[in-house]
Amino acid sequence: MNREEILERIRRLMVEIRIDEVKEAVDEALRMGIKPLDIIDNALTPAIREIGDLFEKGEYFLPELIISADLFKEIMDEKLKPLLTAEGSAREVLGRVVIGTVKGDLHDIGKNIVATMLEIAGFEVYDLGVDVAPEEFVRKAKEVNADIVAMSALLTTTMIEMKNVIELLKREGLRDKVKVIVGGAPVTEEFARQIGADAYAEDAVKAVEVCKKLVGEKTGN
Ligand code: B1M
């Protein structure tokens, strides 16, 4: 089996939620030398998005969404995250990032990947979890003297909470001290601009790139 075939096999088994077989296929891909990030971006993420589409069409229901999300997280925690962390060699602390999924939103798979990749790149990451109120983002940013506040949203109904966090940062006199990056499936560059964020990233790799640039702007490097 080549790279394309094994990634396609993982994607298909994941969409069919064949739990043990997906795990076996991931092990097989790793044995073949396929990189964890390749498996995440080109097999697991397209699969879970397809599951979301099937849910929207009424072909899958909430239990399928929950089981597939749990399976994704299990594969991340048990198989892929330890390898990603081991691959990371950065030792210098690039900056402090407070990250969370906004208020009312429980989606955290993408946010967790972003947090992991930032950690690997050398950022000190404070992950507040999901359903994070604006006050909590601001309190933590103050407490740790954050360089960056990073927000994730997966629902069109919750992405507006990002603006509330930015407004609160302004009211608390912190807006010129921290950079703000936003992301998540419904979020766009245009939306980021509209709400006054400093940056948008479409995926975890881009988020790392953008955060490095943002701390560079802060320190003038
Ligand atoms: Co939900 N859900 N869900 N769900 N769910 C979506 C988002 C949806 C698009 C599915 C659909 O209908 N097609 C839809 C939203 C529709 C909309 O808003 N217009 C939806 C819905 C409707 C709901 C509920 C309302 C369903 C219900 O109860 N009737 C409910 C809401 C709960 C709530 O949050 N209050 C709900 C619940 C759930 C579960 C709990 C069952 C589960 C989440 C479990 C968990 O996260 N622990 C779930 C899941 C799994 C999904 C889908 C299928 C997959 C999301 C995911 O993990 N993707 C999703 C379908 C979809 O996204 N197309 C869907 C994989 C992940 C790697 O990608 O999160 O996009 P993503 O992250 C990427 C990038 O976006 C980016 O980098 C990541 C890695 O590359 N990124 C950032 C993310 N955050 C970033 C931050 C950054 C930068 C980049 O900077 C800070």
The domain defined by 3-87 folds into 1.10.1240
Report CA(154)–ligand 1 centroid distance (Å): 5
pLDDT band, very low/low/confident/very high, at 219 (cuts 50, 70, 90): confident
CA nearest neighbour of 137 among 170, 90, 184: 170
User: Could you tell me which CATH class the domain 96-214 is placed in?
Assistant: alpha beta
- pLDDT surpasses 70 at 66: yes
Decide whether any atom of ligand 1 lies within 6 Å of the 59 Cβ.
no
Whether 163 contacts 196, CB under 8 Å:
yes
The reply to whether ligand 1 has any atom less than 6 angstroms from the CB of 70 is no
Identical fold for domains 3-87 and 96-214, yes or no, is: no
- The answer, yes or no, to whether any atom of ligand 1 lies below 6 A from the CB of 111, is yes
From the number of C-beta atoms within 10 Å of its C-beta (0-12, 13-18, 19+), residue 134 rates as buried
pTM, two decimal places: 0.96
> Residue 90 above 90 pLDDT?
no
> Cα(208) to centroid of ligand 1, in Å?
20
- The answer to whether 7 and 34 have CB atoms below 8 angstroms apart is yes
Q: How many CA atoms lie within 13 A of 27 on its CB side?
A: 7
CA 167 vs CA 98, 161, 192, 215, 219: distances in Å? 16, 10, 13, 21, 23
Coil, helix or strand for 158?
coil
Per domain, the residue ranges of the chain are 3-87, 96-214
Cα of 188 vs centre of ligand 1, distance in Å, is 15
